[in-house]
Amino acid sequence: MKRISGSLWLLALIGATIFALFVPTWDHPVLVPVLIALWIITLVGIIRPPALRSVYRALAAPFHALRRVPALYWVAVLVYITFFIGWWTVHFQPTNGRYLQPFEFAYLLLVLWGLIALFQFDGSREEARAMGVNLEKNPLTGVLITLTTLWVLVIAAEAYLRIFYITTDAYTYTAMNYHWYQNFYFPSFNSLGYRDHEPNPDAPRRIAVVGDSFTVGQGINDIDDTFPQLIEQGLNDGTDVNVVAQSGWDTDVQEYHLDLYPYQPDTVILAYYLNDIDYIIVDTDRDPNRNFTFPDPGFGSWFVLNFFVPNFIYYNLIQITSPQRNTSFMDDLVSVYDDAAIWDRQVMQLDSLVAWTQRNNVRLIVLLFPNPIAIEASAPVLLKVGDYFRQQDIEVIDLSEPLREFPPTSLIVNNFDTHPSILAHEVAAREILRLLSAQQAGN
């Protein structure tokens, strides 16, 4: 090993050893034996003790054998990097918003150690020149250059998506969406299991916001940018605004969780979106999700699940951007409300929720969310739901008109997710604060 490469080789192993000290032995029992073996190889490779000359030659033999066939050596380097980085990716899924663990740092430094060995162990300028001459004459060199270029582009694209594109999609299908939830949604939970700050038990006034992914702010990294938190900030009078919502909740579970919440509110804000009726139609012929397809079980499904580039292509570029699929999904969801039997079941759940607020002497405000990029298509549903509540003298805020002031693309979290953006949450908070202020002025 040359002085510089040998120093890097040694430093990589020292770094791996230091990080390994913070790894519980029972979690990765093979790590210690691997480190011991690599320390022996490293010391033999750097010191080259005369008594172990035969050992050194035995260690160097595989590297020389590979370098005598430069095309095979080139492929071996690509396979080495692909396998070990791929193993790390599949087992740990490194993404923006997730901190690497000590074992990962140790593992990556060991991978670097192996790569330096592939390049430099017992290498020489003469051997490098011979490899260069061989590659110049080899007809496979052009193929290898093309293959390597494509490989670099795929690796770069995978890294880009993992670093800069951990975000959501409208239908929660993608790997990026899954890791957004792991990195930004669940870590924001309070002790009660909601994406919210800790409640204030001694608050003079309490508002509970009930809903689903629209309420918790799917696609919004900072919970302080969601409309429940913006309401609390806007009131600034000690009112505690509590989120009693989860992604995926429908009307059938909201009353139950309100009843379980340890602090009874003075006011409940029900954030209603079109798919709150899903619990009735899921896994039936009326389910709008039928418009999307999923990869068959097997290697293809595993590949799409674990790597972001094929996942992005399969879901984001083929499925979610399909105008036909999206239009059919929206049409199917809206048409469900025209089915009398389904609507009657939904009314039963809404009746029960209204009865709960009346029984507990709680003020109910209903916030109706349209699909931000399909406000007109959402109108029949919001009108029907809004009329149901208005007939019972319940205050209704329909966000359709306030949101029409803005370009549709500014109202969604990203091009693949029509959940409300920070701007849309600000609009929702503004309208609610306006209603609450009007009540206070009237009193």
Alpha-carbon gap, residue 23 to 238, rounded angstroms = 45
pLDDT bin (cut points 50, 70, 90) of residue 441 is low
Residue 349's contacts (CB-CB under 8 Å, 6 or more residues apart) are 251, 252, 255
Q: What 3-state DSSP class applies to 319? A: helix
Q: What tens digit of pLDDT does each residue of 165-204 get?
A: 999 998 888 999 999 999 999 999 999 999 999 999 999 9
The residue written with tokens 């959940």 in the block is 419
Cα distances (angstroms) measured from residue 400 to each of 67, 140, 369, 406: 68, 62, 7, 11
Q: How far is CA 431 from CA 144, 233, 367, in A?
A: 61, 14, 9
Whether 276 has a pLDDT exceeding 60, the answer reads: yes
Region label for 19, one of left (φ > 0), alpha (ψ between -120 and 50) or beta (otherwise): alpha
Report the pLDDT averaged over residues 24-36: 93
158 or 325: which carries more pLDDT confidence? 158
This prediction's pTM:
0.87
Residue 443 scores a pLDDT above 70 = no
Percentage above 90 pLDDT, the chain: 84
Q: What is the pLDDT of residue 3?
A: 76
pLDDT band at residue 284, thresholds of 50, 70 and 90? confident
In 220-374, which residue ranges form alpha helices assigned H by DSSP? Answer: 227-235, 251-260, 278-281, 299-306, 308-311, 323-336, 340-359
Half-sphere exposure at residue 153, Cβ-oriented, CA atoms within 13 angstroms: 6
Domain segments of the chain as ranges: 3-164, 175-442
- How confident is the model at residue 325, as a pLDDT? 79
Task: Assign 281 a pLDDT band (cuts: 50, 70, 90).
Answer: very high
pLDDT (0 to 100) of residue 298: 86
Q: Per-residue pLDDT averaged across 422-432, rounded?
A: 98
Residue 290 — pLDDT band, cuts 50, 70, 90?
confident
Per-residue confidence at 262, pLDDT binned at 50, 70, 90?
very high
pLDDT of residue 337: 96
Are residues 440 and 267 in contact, defined by beta-carbon separation less than 8 angstroms? no
Average pLDDT, the chain: 94
90-108 mean pLDDT: 95
Long-range interactions of 325-330: CB distance < 8 A, separation 24+: 325/291, 325/292, 326/291, 328/288, 328/291, 329/171, 329/288, 329/289, 329/291, 329/292, 330/288, 330/371, 330/374, 330/377
59 to 41, 121, 130: CA distances (angstroms): 8, 9, 21
- Specify whether the CB–CB gap between 212 and 249 falls below 8 A: yes
Q: Does the pLDDT value for residue 11 go beyond 70?
A: yes
What pLDDT, on a 0 to 100 scale, did the predictor assign at position 442? 59
Contacts of 318 (CB under 8 A, 6+ apart): none
Burial 290-314 (b: 16+ CB within 10 A, else e): ebbeebeeeeeeeebeebbbbbbeb
pLDDT at 321 over 90: no
pLDDT of residue 326: 79
- The larger pLDDT score, comparing residue 305 to residue 107, is at 107
Mean pLDDT calculated for residue range 324-348? 92
* Whether 281 contacts 287, CB under 8 Å: yes
Q: Rounded to an integer, what is the distance from CA 37 to the centroid of its chain?
A: 38
**Confidence at residue 328, expressed as pLDDT on a 0 to 100 scale:** 87
Q: What would the CATH number be for the domain defined by 175-442?
A: 3.40.50.1110
Q: What is the pLDDT of residue 292?
A: 82
Q: Where are the beta strands (DSSP E) in 354-411?
A: 363-368, 395-398
pLDDT in tens, 116-158: 999 999 988 899 999 999 999 999 999 999 999 999 999 999 9
Q: How far apart are CA 104 and CA 111, in angstroms?
A: 10
Two structure tokens written together for 164:
């800069």
**What integer is the mean pLDDT of 195-222?**
97
Region 264-289: mean pLDDT is 93
Nearest to 263 by CA among 145, 390, 360: 360
